[in-house]
Amino acid sequence: MAATSERTVSVWQDKVQARVKIAGSGPALVYLHSGYGLVWDDFLDLLARDFTVYAPEHPGTSAGLPDAVKPLDDVWDLALFYDELFDRLGLQSAAVVGHSFGGMVAAELAASARHRVGKLVLIDSLGLWRDDTPIKNYMVMAQADVEPLLFHDRTHPARKHIFANFEDADSVVRLMWALACTGKFIWPLPDKGLRKRIHRIAAPTLIIWGRHDGLTPAVYAEEFARLIPNSKTELVEAAAHMAPMEQPGAVAKLVRDFIKG
């Protein structure tokens, strides 16, 4: 695992203490995590070989800072919050990679603070809604029902990051609270108007999707591609919604080639 450092910076009239994990060297890459909270895994290790990876923890999901989510109420607050966070981290602009919930936040940031996002990568992203393919509410599903939507390989070791071990109270609290704090911005449906704003995204965009994504099926990759002017799409084999966890090598290579290319 790459040597990661941690910074806690004060944002939003000092009401939010934001914790950011940082590793690697090279051009800046900001990674926004899914609703299950930040997991520093093989995927981020691989990216840290070529980039300085900044991985902020969504407000409220950091250990010891459960109330940091309170001063932020909607995606507009959240986009402005990240705009400020870039300043605090000394970043003018960066490549921004977002997965699932983080993809929706990345897209909102790219549509509102356009100068911040040099290149945009959306991986199995939330943020759009199609009536013909309703997105299931993963926050209220039994593990047996949600697992096949998230993982193509139902024995994959990365499952441990997503499904709480009920013997370990801390892991239950951490996962429940991560879902609660991210859920605040997508409840009851993960559509908060991105469709109205998505045309403003100016950054070259790569859309990466697990071919077997059962939560946001691949039809959503087509939808993002249709709505983002300068975009292309790559499907990842043998992966579902948690593609960066399930196929870290393949997804990291796509990200690296796109951002460096």
Partner 1 sequence: MKISMFHLMPYRELPADFERRYHSVWVDPPFWELADPEKVGQYYNWTLDELIHAARCGMDGICVNEHHQNAYGFMPSPNVMGSVLARATNGMNTAIVQMGATLPTTNPPIRVAEEYAMLDCISGGRLVAGMPLGSPMDVNLCYGISPIEQRERYYEAHDLILKAWQSREIFAWNGKYFQLPMVNLWPRPIQSPYPPVWVPGSGSLSTWDFSARHDHCYCFLSYYGNNVGKKIMDGFWEFVSKTGLEPNPYRAGFLQLVAVSETDARAEQEYFPHIRYFYDKCLHIAPELLAIPGHQDYRSLVHSVKNINPDQAQLMMQVPNWKYRDFVENQFVIAGSPATVRDQLMAAVKKLRVGNLMVLLHIGSMPHELTLKNIELFAREVMPHFRTVWDDEGWANNWWPRRLRENGARTASPAKHPNA
The binding site for partner 1 (CB under 8 A) comprises: 66-67, 69, 73, 139-142, 169, 172-173, 175-181, 183-184, 187-188
Q: Which is nearer to partner 1, 9 or 180 (CB)?
A: 180
What letters, b where the CB count within 10 A reaches 16 and e where it falls short, cover 106-123? bbbbbbbbeebbbbbbbb
Residue 42 C-beta: closest distance to partner 1, Å: 26
User: At closest approach, how far in Å is the CB of 71 from partner 1?
Assistant: 11
Residue 163 vs 211, nearer CB to partner 1: 163
Least gap, CB of 70 to partner 1 (angstroms):
8
Which of 32, 10, 11, 13 minimizes the C-alpha distance to 21?
32
Q: Minimal distance in Å, beta carbon 155 to partner 1? A: 22
> Which residues make Cβ contacts (< 8 Å) with residue 253, sequence separation at least 6?
none
Helix, strand, coil percentages for the chain (3-state, nearest 5): 40, 20, 40
For partner 1, give the closer residue by CB, 1 or 176.
Answer: 176
Residue 218 CB, shortest distance to partner 1, in Å, is: 26
Cα radius of gyration rounded to whole Å, the chain? 17
Spatial distance between the Cα atoms of 126 and 182, rounded to a whole number of angstroms: 12
Q: Is the N-terminal amide bond of 188 cis, ω within 30° of 0?
A: yes
Based on CB atoms, which residue is closest to partner 1, 119 or 241?
Answer: 241
Q: How far apart are CA 104 and CA 108, in angstroms?
A: 6
Alpha helices in 29-168 (DSSP H): 42-47, 75-88, 101-112, 143-150
Do 151 and 236 contact (CB within 8 A), yes or no? no
Smallest separation, CB 13 to partner 1 (Å): 16
Decide whether 89 or 146 has the Cβ nearer to partner 1: 146
State the DSSP H helix or E strand holding residue 246, giving kind and residue range, or none if neither. helix 243-246
Q: Are 31 and 245 in contact (CB under 8 A)?
A: no
Nearer to partner 1, 145 or 237 (CB): 145
Gap between the Cα atoms of 133 and 113, Å rounded = 30
Smallest separation (angstroms) from partner 1 to the CB of 183 = 6
| Residue nearer to partner 1 on the CB measure, 174 or 256 | 174
